Structures are given as structure tokens and as C-alpha cells.
Chain A
Amino acid sequence: MKMKVLILGGFLGSGKTTLLLQLARYMVGELQGKSQYKVVILENEVGKEGIDDKLLKGNGFDVENMFNGCGCCTLAGELVGAADRIQTLYQPEWLIVETTGLAYPGLIQDNLKNGMGIESKICTVADASRWGRLIKPMHNLITGQIERADEVLLNKVDLVQNTQLLKIKQDIHRINKGVKIFETSGIGTVGTGIWEKVLRVAL
């Protein structure tokens, strides 16, 4: 069976790992009481040391790591090699690539397509609580992370007023017209309906 790939991107501190934990638990069936998918997570961290991978492994998930660079550029070769090895060794139904907060998910998508002929889906996490503070100084990076997203998880909505949320969604749609935006809060439980939509891929 062909491995499906979800690229989970988004700026630093947006809540990718927190949401990934919930998504992974949903996928392996913990939230429904029955096993659903075989999942492997590929963690990319730009620093020399991994931190999020330990948390994910501590929660019982299968995790491969790429440290010391970014899968969209410096570790592009390693990314393809890692994905290929994961497919061969584990034959998972799903591979989730959690990017670094500095990565452009679109480039990772291109690397996987060019290197392995694998199609993938991009889900980008946006930080509602820091959007106003970051959108100007980090404009290029945040734009680059959203513009090719298939879905955006607008996270930490519990920390933001509704009027601000509306403005943020308008900003996001200016970057990526018509992209589906789901409001999430990592401190609560994300509804399984959202995960069903995120995973529904026409690959």
C-alpha cells in the first residue's frame, strides 16, 4: 500500500508538536478505542539536539529524527533518504513530517515529489496569539509556510478575541485564497472531525 504523507508545518512555537500528539493519538485509534492507522513520525529539528522527538517517543510513537538542519534545504537529501527508509522498513500507512519552525513546507513537498515521486499534503499551524506580533518581522517566512497549505490550523484561539480571529483569517486568506482554516486550541481536545478533514486526502 502506498504510504501517505502529511507535512505539518508552521512557525516556531505555534503548537505543532502539541497538535501532532493529538493527531497521532487519533490516527492510532487511542481516541476511538480501536487501532486505525500505522503511523511513523519524522521529526526535523534545526538544532543539534532533539527535544520534541523525546516527547513523542515518550508517548509511545515511532519517531525518526533529522537534526542539525532543515529538510527543505540543508537536509533535503537526508529527508528523501529518511522517507525512503521509513517506507521500506516500516511500511506505514501514514508518514507525518513535522518540519522545523523555520522550514518552507512547500519545498519539503517538492523534495519528496522530486526525490521519491511521493505526493503529500501540507497542514500548517498558525499561532493566533502571536500573529499580530510576528506577521511583520517574519512576513516572508510565515507567508511561505501558509501559501501552499491545504489546510491551516489556527491554533491558540482561546487566547484571542473573535475580532482578532476574523482579521487573522482575512490575512491568511490574502496569502492563500480559499484555504480551509480550522480553529484549534492545543490545551483542549481537538475534535476528531477536524482530524478526519485534515487526513482526507485525494492522493
Chain B
Amino acid sequence: MGKGIEGSPMNEEKRQGDRNCYQSDEHHSHEHHSHDRNKDHTHQHEHHQHGKCNYTEPSGNEKNDRLKITSLLQDEAVVISAECHITADRTLIGRRLEMKLEELAGDIKKKEGIIGHIKASMEIQDVEMYSVTDSRVDKKKSYLSKITIHFASITFFMDRQEMLRMVNELFKMLESN
């Protein structure tokens, strides 16, 4: 149950159907820097039938054992994914994560970006050890938890590199003393 299916990389097939997710070959992959969202403006790229998919291969930013961040562009959405492994107090990390996510949301709004969503999950592993040498069971518990954080954000009208920098910073601040 729940077996994962890895996605395929950039799909060059032509699509059938009433509407294509992605624009045709002419679609550019520039970043949106400034944008007047008060104008009567529709999503800038018209969707053409039978166009190619505009999907940018994920690029890894930080790849080490503790933190992995990747980003991709899909239409004009900047998609950031991250996985982080920390050993820390779960309550403290939870509180910090909440604070940092709110700060991130605030920073995106200040830069006039649109948040599709920003999500994170924490998987927590605690260890309890039970041992008997005589008659009584001795119990020991780890005072820190092994925490895996999965992060995903989809934003619009944001610079991809800037988003990467901000998410990187979020995780750095999460662990700082």
C-alpha cells in the first residue's frame, strides 16, 4: 500500500485534449520580476492545444546528508521541494517551523508574489530502550528526536533563485542555536 511512483522527467510528447497544461515551444521560461496585479490581467501564457510541456528539470541546490532542496518551473509556478534531517527537540523545532513558515509567507507577499501553497510535514522518531539485567526493567528514552521535515512550496511571480535562497535560509535558521 502507498507505493510511490516516481515521476518522469521532461515530457516532450504532444498532448491531446481540449486544453494543454503547458504552452507551446515559444513559451519562455523567464522569471517574473515585477507585475501589476491590479490590472485586468490573465495568466500571461495562453494555453495552446498540442503544445509541448513547459517543465524545467529539477535542479538541486543543496545536496548533503541533512538537507536537500530542489526547484523546478511549471508554467510560471516556482516549485520548491526540500527534505531535511535534524536531531533536535521536537517541540522547539515545531515552534520554529511555524514561525519560519509565517515569515516566508510574509516575505513572499512583500515581494508581491502569490502563494499557491507552502506545506511542511514533520516525521518524528523517538527511541526508547528497555533492558533487564536482574529483575527490574530499566527504561531509557532519547531526549532528542530524529526529525525529518518534508517541505513543498508553489509560488507565482517569484524569482526561482530568490525562492531557493529564502527556503535555504529557512532551514538554516531552523537549526541555529
Q: Show the binding face of A for B, using Cβ within 8 Å.
A: 11-13, 45-55, 57, 62-70, 72-78, 81-82, 101-104, 106-107, 110-111, 114, 133-134, 136-141, 144
Query: Are A74 and B75 CB-contacts (below 8 A) given A48-B58, A101-B154, A144-B19?
Result: no
Interface centre among A65, A106, A137, A140 (most CB of B within 10 A): A137
- Chain B nearest CB, measured from A23 CB (Å): 18
Supposing A73-B11, A136-B40 touch, asked if A49 and B151 sit within 8 A by C-beta, the answer is yes
CB-defined A-B contacts under 8 Å, sample of 18 = A12-B154, A49-B83, A50-B4, A51-B152, A55-B121, A57-B2, A63-B2, A66-B5, A73-B11, A73-B21, A78-B5, A81-B5, A107-B20, A137-B42, A137-B156, A138-B156, A139-B42, A140-B46
The closest CB in chain A to the CB of B60 belongs to A48
Q: Are A54 and B150 in contact (CB under 8 A)?
A: yes
Q: In whole angstroms, what is the CA distance A13 to B123 when docked?
A: 22
State which of B86-94, B109-117, B127-135 sits at the interface with chain A. Answer: B109-117
* Contacting pair A64 B152 (CB below 8 A): no
List residues of chain A with CB within 8 A of the CB of B53: 73-74
Q: Measured between alpha carbons, how far is A138 from B5 in the docked complex, in Å?
A: 29
Q: Does B47 contact A (CB under 8 A)?
A: yes
Of A51, A101, A140, which one neighbours B47 at CB under 8 angstroms?
A: A140
Q: Which of A45, A48, A74, A106 contacts B11 (CB 8 A)?
A: A74
Does B137 interact with chain A (Cβ within 8 Å)?
Answer: no
Binding site for A on B (CB under 8 A): 1-8, 10-11, 13, 15-22, 35, 37, 39-43, 45-47, 53, 55, 58, 70, 72, 74-75, 77, 79-83, 114-117, 119-121, 123, 150-152, 154, 156-157
Q: Return the chain A residue nearest B11 by Cβ.
A: A74
